[in-house]
């Protein structure tokens, strides 16, 4: 396997010098370009098609996140690792949405940074351990919010009816289980389909299962 070709992007020259010195001590890396702005970074990537870009999030003018978005869209073979001084949640999630393969804090040790670059070069994601937990927490929170909002427009009784629909029960069986008239159940089912924007019971059942309805009863 050939050397991993790397472009360094940071508006502080002293940071780039330090990174270059660290990486060039390792024979598997070759620094093929440097940039101090997002615009220069895009020019370097266009010119040298590196394997990995080490990119500071905060750059003068366009941000590192905007540059990352453009690189991952136009040069999908090039992986981007975002470098930042702070474990800022909003920055982290913006970087992930922009297509970054890694997110590391500048306080990271040299060996850990090398491992992160190697992991990203292998096609794996690399998150600094200081922010990994936040990612999982945010993903879990977002999933929970999405699930909860999925049934926000349904009354409690409609949720009970939908749960029984998802279990394959007929209107008659649902009416018996909930002590309702069959016509009332039909009206509930019709209202549920309308509110969920689905066209039949099978779709409603699939929706209920997919969004974990049972947890919101």
Domain ranges of the chain: 4-140, 151-216
Higher pLDDT, 66 or 123: 66
Q: Can you give the pLDDT at residue 215?
A: 81
Least confident of 76-80, 87-91, 114-118, 127-131: 127-131
Higher pLDDT, 183 or 143: 183
Give the strand pairing for 126-127 and 79-84: unpaired
Nearest to 84 by CA among 50, 52, 107: 107
Q: Can you give the pLDDT at residue 162?
A: 96
Of all residues in the chain, what percent carry a pLDDT higher than 90?
Answer: 57
pLDDT band at 175, cuts 50/70/90?
very high
Q: Can you give the pLDDT at residue 79?
A: 93
Higher pLDDT, 33 or 93: 33
Q: Output the average pLDDT for the chain.
A: 87
Residue 204 pLDDT greater than 70, yes or no: yes
CATH number listed for the domain at residues 4-140: 3.40.50.2300
Q: Can you give the pLDDT at residue 1?
A: 56
Per DSSP, which regions of the chain are E strands? 4-9, 29-35, 52-56, 79-84, 102-105, 126-127
Q: In what order do the strands lie in the sheet with 102-105?
A: 29-35, 4-9, 52-56, 79-84, 102-105, 126-127
In terms of pTM, does the model score above 0.75? no
Higher pLDDT, 101 or 10: 10
**What is the tens place of the pLDDT at every residue in 114-156?**
888 888 888 776 665 555 556 656 666 776 777 778 898 999 9
CATH number listed for the domain at residues 151-216: 1.10.10.10
CB 158 within 8 A of CB 192: yes
Q: Can you give the pLDDT at residue 140?
A: 60
- Count the Cβ atoms, other than its own, within 10 Å of residue 84: 21
Beta bridge partners of 81: 54, 102
Higher pLDDT, 112 or 16: 16
């Amino acid at each position: 396997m050939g050397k991993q070709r790397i472009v360094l992007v940071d508006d502080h020259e002293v940071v780039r010098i330090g990174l270059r010195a660290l990486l060039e001590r390792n024979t598997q890396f070759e620094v093929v370009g440097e940039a101090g702005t997002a615009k220069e970074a895009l020019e370097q990537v266009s010119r040298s098609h590196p394997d990995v870009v080490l990119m500071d999030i905060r750059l003068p003018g366009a941000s590192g996140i905007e540059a990352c978005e453009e690189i991952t869209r136009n040069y999908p073979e090039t992986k981007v690792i975002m470098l930042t001084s702070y474990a800022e949640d909003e920055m982290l999630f913006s970087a992930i949405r922009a297509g970054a393969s890694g997110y590391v804090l500048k306080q990271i040790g040299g060996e850990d940074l090398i491992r992160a670059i190697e992991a990203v070069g292998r096609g794996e994601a690399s998150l600094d351990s200081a922010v990994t937990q936040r990612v999982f927490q945010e993903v879990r929170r977002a999933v929970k919010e999405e699930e909860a909002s999925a049934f926000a427009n349904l009354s409690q009784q409609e949720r009970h009816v939908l749960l029984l629909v998802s279990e394959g029960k007929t209107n008659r069986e649902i009416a018996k289980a909930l002590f309702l008239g069959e016509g009332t159940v039909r009206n509930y089912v019709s209202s549920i389909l309308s509110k969920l924007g689905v066209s039949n019971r099978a779709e409603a059942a699939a929706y209920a299962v997919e969004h974990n309805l049972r947890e919101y009863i």
